[in-house]
Amino acid sequence: MSELVRVENIKKVFPKNGTDVSVLKEVSFGLDVGQSIAIVGQSGSGKSTLLQVLGTIMRPTSGRVCFRGKNIFDLSESEIVGFRRHKLGFVFQFHHLLPDFTALENVSMPLLIQGNLTDKPEKIAENWLDKVGLKDRLDHAPYALSGGEQQRVAIARALVGSPEIILADEPTGNLDFERAKEVAELLFDLARKNKIGLIMATHNLEIIHMADQVFRLKDGYLEKVR
């Protein structure tokens, strides 16, 4: 199986009141095409920090994040923006849908940002909303959707641009037990079927069995659980 991501010796230090706080001390792992990883760890252990580094939202203090063998932090700023737009999809704890737009418009948005004018963005978006089970909710604004439905729209939005990696930061953190399980199953299933790598930080131990690998972040180090 070919390797999609290789994370090598990531360190992240935040300066705080004159003293440095070392949040990530040594984080290394690999992810193959279409495989999934769950990352657990106590609150404050650095899960979101790690996902932000992987998502190129923040540079590591040192270390490399190689995508198909090439360190993304060696790219120029505009190439990094292009990488983020075309290769990555994000799902967060709170849906971050645009409140004044319908589900269909929210899911179309990444395609418009990518500059996809050849195919019909709304057709592609509709197709993804169908895949997350929301074909009959296309015209609903976020306020007119349940929490589980809002996360399904967020998943469709993350997938619509044909990313190669999905980064999910506690995507079920705001849902009840049953809804959390359904949303997690959907996300793992769609990632696997579409051969998209999935890296998910979660507190929900009921869903980590769905991941191909599980890691724990502790004291700045990433330990393999299985």
Ligand X SMILES: Nc1ncnc2c1ncn2[C@@H]1O[C@H](COP(=O)(O)OP(=O)(O)OP(=O)(O)O)[C@@H](O)[C@H]1O
Asked if 45 is part of the footprint of Mg ion (rule: CB under 5 A), the reply reads no
Q: Of ligand X, Mg ion, none, which one does residue 14 interact with (CB within 5 to 8 Å by kind)?
A: ligand X
- Residue closer to Mg ion by CB (options 48, 102) is 48
Applying CB under 5 A, the span of 40-48, 95-103, 132-140, 192-200 interacting with Mg ion comes to: 40-48
Q: Is 48 in the site for Mg ion (CB under 5 A)?
A: yes
Structure tokens given for 53: 């580094």
CB of 131 to ligand X, least distance (A): 28
Which window, 43-51, 74-82, 117-125, 158-166, contacts Mg ion (CB under 5 A)?
43-51
And the tokens for 63? Answer: 């270390």
171 binds, among Mg ion, ligand X, none (CB under 5 to 8 A by kind): none
CB of 68 to ligand X, least distance (A): 26
Cβ proximity to ligand X, 145 vs 199, nearer residue: 199
Residue 101 contacts which entry, Mg ion, ligand X, none (Cβ below 5-8 A, type-dependent)? none
Q: Is 93 in the site for Mg ion (CB under 5 A)?
A: no
Could you tell me which of 42, 7, 40, 46 has the C-alpha nearest to residue 23?
Answer: 46
CB of 216 to ligand X, least distance (A): 11
Q: Which residue ranges make up the site for ligand X (CB under 6 A)?
A: 14, 16, 21, 23, 41, 43-49
* Binds 35: which of ligand X, Mg ion, none (CB < 5-8 Å by kind): none
Q: Measured in whole angstroms, how far is the alpha carbon of residue 83 from the centre of its chain?
A: 14
Q: 23 or 196, CB closer to ligand X? A: 23
- The string of DSSP codes covering the chain is --EEEEEEEEEEEEEETTEEEEEEEEEEEEEETT-EEEEE--TTSSHHHHHHHHTTSS--SEEEEEETTEEGGGS-HHHHHHHHHHHEEEE-SS----TTS-HHHHHHHHHHHHT--SS-HHHHHHHHHHHTT-GGGTT--GGGS-HHHHHHHHHHHHHTT--SEEEEESTTTTS-HHHHHHHHHHHHHHHHHTT-EEEEE-S-TTSGGGSSEEEEEETTEEEE--
- Site residues (CB under 5 A) for Mg ion? 47-48
